[in-house]
Structure 1
Amino acid sequence: MPEVLFYHLTESRLEEALPDLLERSLARGWRAVVQCVTTERRDALDQHLWTFREDSFLPHATDAAASAATLQPVLLTTDPAQRANDPQVRFMVEGASPEAGWGDAKRGVYLFDGHDDHQLQLARERWRAEKAAGNDITYWQQTEDRRWAKRA
């Protein structure tokens, strides 16, 4: 069973928080899948990860480039069953759900916008479902200085 973390964005947007979390995952030697609900969000994140900071490079691909998908440490997808890069961590964004399960991932991460009522409701539902499944879950919330504080 994976460790499941809930990250409650209150001070920054997904585009600001996700690259740092991906860099931390890569520093551990993990490969990651970022699961989006829409192809528009997937493609926007794809573009953003190339330019989010001038002094950084975050190697990634989308599942639209299937031949490159297995080679990339970060894979952006809308497919809940996508595991082409054999990820150790799966990120769920914009309300995505691991409908096909976490697979062999060591960690599952929900990133949700605290200013979006729909995403808040989905996160609450996922919390209950993950708890009922017996997963080890933790809840992290941003502080005013955009750091993460463990709340539960």
Structure 2
Amino acid sequence: MPETRSEIWFYHLERSGLPEVLPGLLDKTRERGWRALVRVNSAGLLDEIDEQLWTWRDEAFLAHGRASEPHAERQPILLSETGENLNGAQALFIVDDAELGDTESYERCFIIFDGRDERSLTAARERWKVLKQGGANLAYWRQSPEGRWEKAA
């Protein structure tokens, strides 16, 4: 059971996909001065996110690296399939139904799930229920019809 010190925020994707949402959340995380760890289940998605972060905006990119590459501890944003907090991240991003694991060392954890995918939606609901029963500090965010994020729980 994960520790309850961290805030755990669920982001329910309905109007936008992961490629539109993740870079913006990572950018805001970096604006706070925090490092981030992005945990995924598949190498294919890891490749996609890696490319998206380099090309996110024409005028800027999000500096990052992979946990499997040298100097992982220096990366402001670290992409990983294993989830070890090699870069001392304060923010953990869970995508692709990756394992949450121990949240003790993070200030905030983001669980991003696709509400248009029934399997992902069911897994997020079950995860919420288990974390809630464990006393976790939870918040639920969803997009308004205009595309802004609103806290719904």
Per the normalisation by structure 2, the TM-score is 0.94
- The match for 2:107 is 106
Partners of 1:133 and 1:59 in 2: CA distance: 35
Alignment of 1:77 onto 2:69? no
Superposed counterparts of 1:95-134, under 5 Å: 95-99=97-101, 101-134=102-135
Gaps of 5+ in 1: none
**Residue 9, structure 1, aligned to residue 7, structure 2:** no
Task: Give the letter for the 1:69 counterpart.
Answer: A
CA drift at 1:146: 1.6
- Stretches (4+) displaced over 2 A: none
Q: Secondary structure at the match of 1:70?
A: helix
User: Is 1:30 matched up with 2:30?
Assistant: no
Aligned length: 149
User: Where does residue 44 of structure 1 map in the other structure?
Assistant: 48
Paired-residue identity, %: 38
Is 1:141 the equivalent of 2:142?
Answer: yes
C-alpha RMSD over aligned residues: 1.0
The residue type equivalent to 2:9 in the other structure is L
Alpha-carbon deviations, 1:33-55, whole Å to 9, x = none? Answer: 00001011011100111002102
Cα distance in 1 for partners of 2:115, 2:60 equals 27
2:92 to 79, 87, 90: 90
Contact 2:56 2:62 in 1 (8 A): no
Using the size of structure 1 for normalisation, the TM-score is 0.94
Report if aligned partners of 2:14, 2:143 keep a CA contact under 8 Å in 1: yes
